[in-house]
Amino acid sequence: MKWSLIFEISTALMLARFKQTAIAAVGVLFSITMFVALLGFMNGLNTMLDGLVLNRTPHIRFYNEIKPNPNQPIDQKGEFADAWNVIRSIKPSTSRLAIHNASKIIQDLEEDPRVLGVSRKISSQVFFNVGTIDLTGLVNGIDVEKETQLFAFSDYVTAVNLEELVQNNTIILGKGLADRMLADIGDVIQVTTSQGNRIQLKVVGYYQSGLGDYDNANSFASIATVQKMLGEPPSFITDIQVKLKNLDLAPAMAQELESIYGIDADDIQTVNAQFETGTQIRSLISYAVGITLLVVSGFGIYNILNMMIYEKLDTIAILKAIGFSGSDVNRIFITIALTIGLVGGTLGLLFGFLACLGIDQVPFETEALPTIKTFPVDYNPQYYLIGGIFSIITTYLAGYFPAKKASGVDPVDIIRGK
């Protein structure tokens, strides 16, 4: 049978029951729209939440951990070499926090083709002197240019020109820490290091990561300022932060480079394993809800086509009586189902994109995230591809079973019944 005739008959049947056909198409449209909008919004939120941690976290961090010396004197004495030695109250060794030969390590890392960028950092515990009260906190000495390039530092900073941070004796306070100190932009605060050194720093901005505990204790200054504050030479570095081109390489590279350079290394996947698990679960839930919408719309199309076949039994009997085979009837009703899926799915993808644009314009302002002004939305083409494929698959299956039923109709029984 010619396909042109199949399409003509399918069109006639759809127009004869246009209201039911339109309702089925609207069901597909609604489910696809909600699927795209839901995934775009949920994954936009996931990306934003991931960014709060992952954007400012290096893929690999090199540092010297303060820990006891594994080679205790009793273990080196021959008579106790084969014994099980129990040692109590072991104190950390006198190893330095500074990374030895940091400049050469950084140079080697920058030449590694797997590495996107390297940033130096100094972390130091300090006391912020507020009148007669000392608040404990952490000063991070950073390379402002590298930190902005690799870890989106500027996205979390408000009320500051980052060029001012490059100058000596300036500091950016975590917003929670600034509120506790009642420190405004332009104020001069006093900081005391653990070695007893005191320095006055000018507040030039606030840092808001959206993580309260982090903002309540952390502050940022230039590397030169922190080195001066600690009384250390320009070569003093406590952390080397590495950003990779491929995040999945982090665990293996951390172990490899740790053995090469003889310093401790943490990779982002190990440190943030629980956070990554939460992200995967949220994504799984959003996909499950979206696919459920598509399946529900498929049952609606099945019911409509089933009723259409019941009401058109006499038409089917006539078609088979004049020479249409069962497979031809099957093609007619599958064509109807696929047409509904194609039209409803295409419009659903369009309305889903428009819904995402609408969500993207809804104001979302919070003091914890000052740089975010509207709800985040992810426009990943993958969601549209999945929605389009599922609209075709669900409508095909919804039409296949009624069409199979129609292809088995005996025209003699129908005509005799009439």
Q: Based on the fold, state whether residues 233 and 279 are members of the same structural domain.
A: no
Q: How far apart are CA 40 and CA 351, in angstroms?
A: 13
Q: Based on the fold, state whether residues 114 and 249 are members of the same structural domain.
A: yes
Q: How far apart are CA 50 and CA 47, in angstroms?
A: 5
Q: Based on the fold, state whether residues 107 and 247 are members of the same structural domain.
A: yes
Question: Looking at 216, 246, 269, which one is the last position of a domain?
Answer: 269
Q: Name which of 203, 260, 271 is nearest 60 in CA terms.
A: 271
The answer to whether position 210 is within a domain reads yes
The answer to whether position 84 is within a domain reads no
Q: Based on the fold, state whether residues 221 and 338 are members of the same structural domain.
A: no
Lookup: tokens for 58: 């290096």
pLDDT digits (tens, 9 = 90+) for 301-310: 777 767 766 6
Query: Strands 133-142 and 188-193, how do they pair?
Result: unpaired
pLDDT digits (tens, 9 = 90+) for 175-208: 888 888 888 888 888 998 888 888 888 888 888 8
Q: Based on the fold, state whether residues 325 and 342 are members of the same structural domain.
A: yes
- Report the pLDDT averaged over residues 283-292: 77
- Per-residue pLDDT at 91: 65
Question: Looking at 245, 269, 293, which one is the last position of a domain?
Answer: 269
What is the percentage of the chain residues whose pLDDT exceeds 70? Answer: 83
Task: Taking the CA atoms of 11, 13, 18 and 24 in sequence, report the sign of the dihedral they define.
Answer: negative
pLDDT digits (tens, 9 = 90+) for 118-156: 999 998 888 998 877 888 889 998 888 888 888 878 778
Residues 164, 170, 172: CA angle, nearest 5 degrees: 85
Q: Name which of 270, 235, 232 is nearest 251 in CA terms.
A: 270
Q: How far apart are CA 178 and CA 187, in angstroms?
A: 10
Question: Looking at 254, 269, 284, which one is the last position of a domain?
Answer: 269
Q: Based on the fold, state whether residues 114 and 184 are members of the same structural domain.
A: yes
Cα–Cα distances (Å) from 22 to 25, 223, 300, 396, in that order, read 5, 66, 12, 17
Q: Name which of 314, 331, 311 is nearest 322 in CA terms.
A: 314
Q: How far apart are CA 132 and CA 287, in angstroms?
A: 55
Q: Based on the fold, state whether residues 332 and 241 are members of the same structural domain.
A: no
The pTM of this model reads: 0.65
Residue in the structure block whose two tokens are 């259409």: 308
Domain extent at residue 281: 3-54+275-417
The answer to whether position 74 is within a domain reads no
Structural domain total, the chain: 2
How would residue 402 be classed by pLDDT, with cut points 50, 70 and 90? confident
The answer to whether position 171 is within a domain reads yes
Q: Based on the fold, state whether residues 309 and 365 are members of the same structural domain.
A: yes
Q: Based on the fold, state whether residues 146 and 217 are members of the same structural domain.
A: yes
Q: Based on the fold, state whether residues 389 and 344 are members of the same structural domain.
A: yes
